[in-house]
Amino acid sequence: MSPTIRQALFAYQQDIAFRYALSAKTDTLEGQTVTTAYWCVLAATILPLVWVVTAKVGGQDYDNAAPREFLDKQSGMRQRANWAQQDAFEALPGLAA
């Protein structure tokens, strides 16, 4: 392979790598780039709220003054949703760091 072809292929590979690196940045907000990692942290922040709603909505005899006693008496899907929201809140600081 001649040196000029090798140089052209190398330049082409660098161009592809550069374009791929630019595509990792997904959105722009006031001149700052929001990367995929920030979107993941945002999703992880919102996800415990989904589990809280799943655990509490539709339960019978819900008392807002004593939510822990209500959640301790739950079983099945609502109990697992409560555990999931507790685990999600525990894992959030490690993910955000």
pLDDT at res. 56: 81
More confident: 20 or 87: 87
pLDDT at 18 over 60: no
Torsion of CA 67, 69, 71, 75, to 10 degrees: -160
Angstrom distance (rounded) from CA 23 to CA 92: 27
At residue 20 the predicted structure's pLDDT band, cuts being 50, 70 and 90, is: low
pTM summary value: 0.54
Whether the Cβ atoms of residue 91 and residue 84 lie closer than 8 Å to each other: no
Residue 91: CB atoms within 10 Å: 13
52 CB-near residues (< 8 Å, 6+ apart):
81, 85
- The structure tokens listed for 59 are 């339960």
Q: Which sign, positive or negative, has the C-alpha torsion 60, 84, 89, 33?
A: negative
pLDDT at 62 over 80: no
Task: Give me the mean pLDDT over the 27-42 stretch.
Answer: 74
At residue 96 the predicted structure's pLDDT band, cuts being 50, 70 and 90, is: confident
